[in-house]
Structure 1
Amino acid sequence: MVTDAQGLQVTGAAESAVALDHAISDYFGWKGDPVGRLQDAVDEDPDFSLGSSAIASLFLLGGFRADHPRVATALAAAERAGAGTTSRETRHLAAVKTLAAGGIAGAIDLWESILVDHPTDALALRFAHDAYFCLGQSVSIRDSIARVLPHWDPQGENYGYILGQYAFGLEEAGELRRAEKIAHAAIARNAEDGWAIHAVAHVLETESRQAEGIAFLQAARPSWRRAHALAVHNGWHLALYLIEEERFDKVLIDYDQYVAPKLPGDFLLDLVDASALLWRLELAGADVGDRWGAVAAQWLTHVDDHVLVFNDLHIALAVARAGNPLDIERLRRSLELYKREGQGDSHRVMAEVGRRLIDGVLAFAAGEYARAVELIVPVRYHAYRIGGSHAQRDLITQTLIAAAERAGQLSLTRALLAERIAVRPTERTRQHYASVGGAGNFAFNAI
């Protein structure tokens, strides 16, 4: 019987199990090429069903459409190799087929059922983690790890990565002290654990500890750059601190050096970060020049994908600011077609929340600020459903504040800024509040 590093049975050759272990380590570490490792193993071992289903899951969770040839090929290979597979492997295939049909929540249920029986199934654990992130389910990100953590060997190779995942879940669930402590424990095990570094970055951003955040990420940059698939995103976190300190020139230098060259690589998280970063810079008053054009051009190759509302929102940011009316109309037409013909969990989120947010940012970019406020306010507390983290979705709040102010709705602006100071009491926000006539009594922040 062939087993993986966790002692779980794997149908296929011994070399396939070794490839699986390497791919899992790469996947958790945001490094290497997990798909490539698995594909090489499948090419040599067609009976390696779990390898093929994992490839399909990785593509789908990475933003590929279900009808993409790489996804379809992987699913077909997993189906062909289905005879003789274990119950665990059969459920992995069922989960990815559910995901391909638009059932993110249903796929999660199947991965969680695997974890009940096999709590050290690293693929099920990370797939569920990523899928919860797609749905914005912060508490589930935390609890999914908590349920299995006692079963993992603290001396095992990937235990530190599991701690890093748990730290991020704790941060998203608001347990900042535990999150920071556990993230640092993960980093002590592996200084190049990009996700654990990312968890610390979230804590420092949430607590408005900008100076600490800058020092931490700059010192750790040689380490987190090696987690290449997360490098732009950790750089994005550094940019958030710098923007709050109005060090716009430094942010743009880093953008040109580290972000812009990666746009042609078409990694969707990099495109998300590029859109969000340029939008936040402009909200803060920076001039980003002609940088929007390249971001919009790359995003437009995905304008009809509609895999996640979160991605569609960032397409809208880029297309709106690049300013080509034909591209904006192309996006609107695609969204209307998706409204009529789409299905699944993301389609439901788009109908109930996402379209208002997208139309809101399009209105904002067009200078229709009152319309942007009208669109965003009713769904702002449901925006978590589009996925992403609290820090990423904060862009929506920042846009709403700017829209209210530019629309001349100063009472709403003051109310939103007072709300913001209560959770992110930065000097820049305080000055903004004072500039629109806000009251000065924030003694409750010290309570």
Structure 2
Amino acid sequence: MNTPKLTSVSSEQEDSIHAEAMYFSDQILSSGLHADRIISAVQNYPNSLRLNLYLALSYLFAQTDNETNTAKALLKKSLPQLKNADDVLVLWHQALQSWADINYKSAISTFVQLVRSYPDELLALKLIEWLNYCSGQVITAKPMRELCVSLADRYKDNSYFLSIYAFAEELCGELKTSKTIAQQAVDINPEAAWAHHALAHYFLNSGQLDEGQKQLEVFKSTWNSVMPLLRGHNLWHLALFYLANNEKEKALSLYRLELSSENPPAFLASMDSIALLWRMELAGWSSQTSGLWRPLVKSIQCDPHYHYLPFNNLHLYYALVRAGQVEKAKEAYHFLNSYFNKGNHPEKTRWQKIGLPTIEGVIAFAVGDYKLARSKLIPLLPSINACGGSDAQSELFIQTALVSASRSGKSSLAHTIFDDHLSHYRNSYLAGALFRQ
């Protein structure tokens, strides 16, 4: 990517640059449709350090090497400006550089320092939430909640903040508090899609499956105004209620119309598509899903050797196997195994101790070796959240472990897993379906 040489910004441009920066921040906080306006903003104000940093940030979300390398080039181009930059922008650059280097722990630490020192930088809080997703949101939930508590008075009337805060409370198991805060966000802004998302988690984990389905169906019409990634993710949450309640036609229709290869997803959005088909199979709907894997995998443009977080690879490799590309999945797994046995990658320990063994178990499950899958997945259940994603997303791997136990003759173990991790489904169709195979 060719970018102009960065120099100081003239004072007459400051108001316009500030407006563009605020617009971008608002788009990310609201999951709006027009965050890409940052591209033209940088074209119009190529000397703005903040806008260039925001442009780099926009590429980092993609979790593909091309976009990450573009972000790195922008960060490198901005280095000369850092000597005269305010501390806040120095911290922004430092955090984004760590993110680009896939050093999520360092990036989170720097963003936390940024938010605590400059609490007006609300966008940084949203990015901490995203990097927590990359790291595993359950294991990062407590410090995130504490940070939100420290900001609660300042942002008590801000629906973006309240949506983040509500989700942090839910991830800490504070379900009633989460619902109260999420409802405050919806009262301020009825179309607050991230607050709807927090409520989806609340209804799921409190076992209110009928009410959750009802509420999300009401919210659904407002999601056309948010970015496809969040719209698709909220639809995925709705599909989880359909699945739990045995609303098979509704779930399949939602997949075909909203999440399938007929509407080709971006790579990150495809995680929800894969997860939904996977869960349908665990629920015993394999006859309905068997013909859907190949077209879905064909639509996904992603190198299986990428290693941004185990969560992504787990989904992609399962899909590859179910689409008949077993050797491709195994080759990519062996590549990653070799890669993380060398060097000093900042994520090395997570991959070696949790990510790679989980991938091995998932591939075994996908090819039908349930005994091997059980032996790999069951010991990892206490740390499975470290693969990335939220509590609801990690639940997929727990369900897979349960079914592997059930299908390999360990019914008692399967019931223990259900009681320990999945009791919110106790009175649902899914509670029986996971064992009827």
Given the two structures, how large is their TM-score scaled by the length of structure 1?
A: 0.88
RMSD of aligned C-alpha atoms? Answer: 2.4
The answer for the alignment partner of 2:315 in structure 1 is 314
Residue 208 and residue 343 in structure 1: after superposition, are their counterparts in 2 closer, same or farther (change >3 A)?
A: farther
Name the CA distance, whole Å, in 2 between partners of 1:433 and 1:377. Answer: 16
The answer to whether the 8 A contact 1:66-1:101 is kept is: no
The amino acid of 1:174's aligned partner reads G
Name the CA distance, whole Å, in 1 between partners of 2:328 and 2:263. Answer: 18
Q: Mapping of 1:266-281 within 5 angstroms?
A: 266-268=266-268, 270-281=269-280
Residue 265 and residue 239 in structure 1: after superposition, are their counterparts in 2 closer, same or farther (change >3 A)?
A: closer
The answer for the alignment partner of 2:4 in structure 1 is none
The answer for the alignment partner of 2:217 in structure 1 is 218
The answer for the alignment partner of 1:48 in structure 2 is 48
Name the CA distance, whole Å, in 2 between partners of 1:352 and 1:262. Answer: 37
The answer to whether the 8 A contact 2:304-2:317 is kept is: no
Q: Which runs of 5+ in 1 are unaligned?
A: 1-9, 437-447
Residue 282 and residue 11 in structure 1: after superposition, are their counterparts in 2 closer, same or farther (change >3 A)?
A: farther
The answer to whether the 8 A contact 2:261-2:295 is kept is: no
Structure 1 residues 100-154: Cα deviation after superposition (integer angstroms, max 9, x where no partner): 2222111111111111211120222111121122212122232222222223373
The amino acid of 1:145's aligned partner reads C
Name the CA distance, whole Å, in 1 between partners of 2:204 and 2:361. Answer: 25
1:138 to 117, 138, 141: 141
Most deviating of 163-172 and 419-428? 419-428
Name the CA distance, whole Å, in 1 between partners of 2:193 and 2:291. Answer: 31
User: Deviation of residue 335 (structure 1)?
Assistant: 1.9
Structure 1 residues 294-330: Cα deviation after superposition (integer angstroms, max 9, x where no partner): 3323446231221111111111221121122332233
Name the structure, 1 or 2, with higher relative contact order (CA <8 Å, separation 6+).
Answer: 2
Name the CA distance, whole Å, in 1 between partners of 2:88 and 2:129. Answer: 18
Residue 276 and residue 67 in structure 1: after superposition, are their counterparts in 2 closer, same or farther (change >3 A)?
A: closer
Q: Percent sequence identity over matched residues?
A: 25
Given the two structures, how large is their TM-score scaled by the length of structure 2?
A: 0.90
User: Deviation of residue 193 (structure 1)?
Assistant: 1.2
The answer to whether the 8 A contact 1:142-1:169 is kept is: yes
Residue 62 and residue 165 in structure 1: after superposition, are their counterparts in 2 closer, same or farther (change >3 A)?
A: farther
The answer for the alignment partner of 1:78 in structure 2 is 78
The answer for the alignment partner of 1:395 in structure 2 is 396
The amino acid of 2:350's aligned partner reads V
Name the CA distance, whole Å, in 2 between partners of 1:45 and 1:196. Answer: 34
Name the CA distance, whole Å, in 2 between partners of 1:120 and 1:267. Answer: 32
The answer to whether the 8 A contact 1:354-1:386 is kept is: yes
The answer to whether the 8 A contact 1:57-1:127 is kept is: no
User: Deviation of residue 281 (structure 1)?
Assistant: 0.3
Residue 173 and residue 320 in structure 1: after superposition, are their counterparts in 2 closer, same or farther (change >3 A)?
A: same
The amino acid of 2:400's aligned partner reads T
Name the CA distance, whole Å, in 2 between partners of 1:389 and 1:11. Answer: 44
Residue 11 and residue 176 in structure 1: after superposition, are their counterparts in 2 closer, same or farther (change >3 A)?
A: farther
The amino acid of 2:183's aligned partner reads H
Count residues in correspondence.
421
The answer to whether the 8 A contact 1:161-1:193 is kept is: yes
The answer for the alignment partner of 2:193 in structure 1 is 194
The answer to whether the 8 A contact 1:417-1:433 is kept is: no
Q: Which runs of 5+ in 2 are unaligned?
A: 1-10
The answer to whether the 8 A contact 1:66-1:72 is kept is: no
Q: Mapping of 1:240-319 within 5 angstroms?
A: 240-260=240-260, 264-268=264-268, 270-286=269-285, 287-299=288-300, 301-319=302-320
Structure 1 residues 66-93: Cα deviation after superposition (integer angstroms, max 9, x where no partner): 8744213321343244353211001100
The answer for the alignment partner of 2:3 in structure 1 is none
The answer to whether the 8 A contact 1:11-1:85 is kept is: no
Alignment partner of 1:348 is 2:364: no
The amino acid of 1:14's aligned partner reads D
